[in-house]
Homo-oligomer: A and B are copies of this chain.
Amino acid sequence: LTIAVSGIFRLRVASESKRSFHRVASMALSRFEYVKQFEQEDKLLPNAWIVVRIDGKGFHRFCEVHKFAKPNDLDALQLMNMAGMSVMQEFNEVAIGYGQSDEYSFVFRREANVYQRRRDKLVSYVASLFTSAYMFHWNRIFERRSLTIRYPPSFDARAVLYPTDENLRDYLSWRQADVHVNNLYNTTFWSLVASGLSNSEAERQLQGTLASDKNEILFSKFGINYNNEPIMYRKGTILLRKPVRTVDGVKKLIVPIFEDLINDEFWVRHPEILDKKVTTAKSDDAVLALSGLEAQPIVSYQLEVLQRKKAGIAEATARSNLSGK
């Protein structure tokens, strides 16, 4: 192994003139270029909904190592939302984002033309951007708890196509029904463990129970009414672009929504998701108030960025006024 080995072309053309040497170099480039043909551009079917779903890799261990609260760690979920927001800021063709547990789904509009719908590019870029934002915002979320990141987390992604609006709604309903079933189980399981049972004892006790049984255990043993648990834990987080009334006027922000998306009312309330012609309503009652939203990290972050931009512009204007004198 020679770290100090000399140049690729130099050795073989030692006795030749410089010109012929360089001809070799560019010939090499073109001689090998044929390998580009082996790239197969898998393009996603036009006019179908594209769902890109991100999944945490080995997050069981990641949660352990970073001592995330069980069954839900609010900060960890908010960090997922920060990453989800970043993806939606990058891709304005995402109609709706939906996160729960260590997964996040991004729904690209039928007419989306991002990377000409090339599968590899889309899937890898969303995974990369989500990961990157997850790490970037880590400190903002966790510095209060002095929690530093111990090793690089990662996520995989997949793209799935849905031809009809009904299929798309059913996809999102599937993910929301999934968080319901899992969170009810986990809430009961960890309550039992907190009450002194070992993990395997808790598992045995829950084996074969119906949802109603779990509800009963929660209520009778621990005085917990499951329906009063935080809605974010029970339903996951929906991300939508909405006009919000801020101190600087109405701004389009990405806001977290905590609703049942299985029923029809949701889709009537948010017609802009499915209908490309309906832009977000601007009528007075459609504009959201800030109160309540401000507590959400993704909202406070966006407001902060707006303030910084405003300050930057003000400063820039001030400077140009000075220099303009």
Contact = CB atoms under 8 A, between A and B. Distances in A.
Given A19-B210, A160-B38, A167-B35, A155 B124 contact: yes
A29 interface: yes
A269 B189 CA distance: 57
Contact of A125 (B46, B57, B129, B164): B57
Contact of A38 (B45, B123, B227): B45
Contact of A22 (B123, B132, B174, B211): B211
Interface in A172-199: 173-174, 176-178, 180-181, 184
Interface residues of A, number: 104
A9 interface: yes
State the copy count for this chain.
Answer: 4
A262 B9 CA distance: 9
Interface-centre pick from A43, A121, A149 (highest chain B CB count, 10 A): A121
A64 to B, nearest CB: 17
B39 A158 contact: yes
Contacts of A262: 8, 28
A301 interface: no
Main secondary structure of the interface of A (DSSP, over half): helix
A235 B4 CA distance: 11
Interface stretch (A92-100, A252-260, A314-322): A252-260
A123 B52 CA distance: 13
Interface of A: 1-12, 18-19, 21-23, 25-26, 28-29, 31-40, 42-43, 45-48, 57, 86, 110, 115, 119-121, 123-133, 135-136, 149, 151-164, 167, 170-171, 173-174, 176-178, 180-181, 184, 210-212, 215-216, 227, 231, 234-235, 242, 255, 257-260, 262-263, 269, 288, 292-293
Given A11-B263, A26-B181, A38-B45, 13 more contacts: A1-B242, A5-B259, A7-B235, A8-B235, A18-B215, A26-B211, A28-B173, A28-B180, A29-B180, A34-B170, A36-B174, A39-B160, A163-B164
